[in-house]
Amino acid sequence: QVQLAEAGGGSVQAGGALRLSCAASGYTNTRICMAWFRQAPGNEREGVATFDSVGRASYADSVKGRFTISKANAKNTLYLQMNSLKPEDPAMYYCAASRNWDCRPGRKADFAYWGQGTQVTVTS
């Protein structure tokens, strides 16, 4: 069973930075997609950044140029570096993984495995 565990959330002033991490375990298929989603109260869960099955990164327009997705394969860990945080960025951030290679960035239904989430707060 695939397990994902996020860490690194917290409170930061607007303009500041945070790095989220997601430790992954239990998967045998390495040709999968991994992604970060976020969900603010009252909003739909939205895709933030995705690695497809061949390692190409894609980003939501709202975070392009500010957020960077990366991974350390040796550690089975996914990261999200968030710079220049804005008041509209606070949310619960979730790590997600697909079952196989077939995924579309931002499409929740393509991701079968989810972490428990880590909260990000931005103060002005």
pLDDT score, position 92: 98
**Residue 124: count of CB within 10 angstroms of its CB:** 7
Mean pLDDT of successive 10-residue stretches along the chain, which has 124 residues:
95 97 88 95 97 93 97 90 97 96 92 97 93
pLDDT score, position 74: 80
- Note whether 46 and 52 are within 8 A (CB): no
pLDDT score, position 73: 81
Beta bridge partners of 72: 77
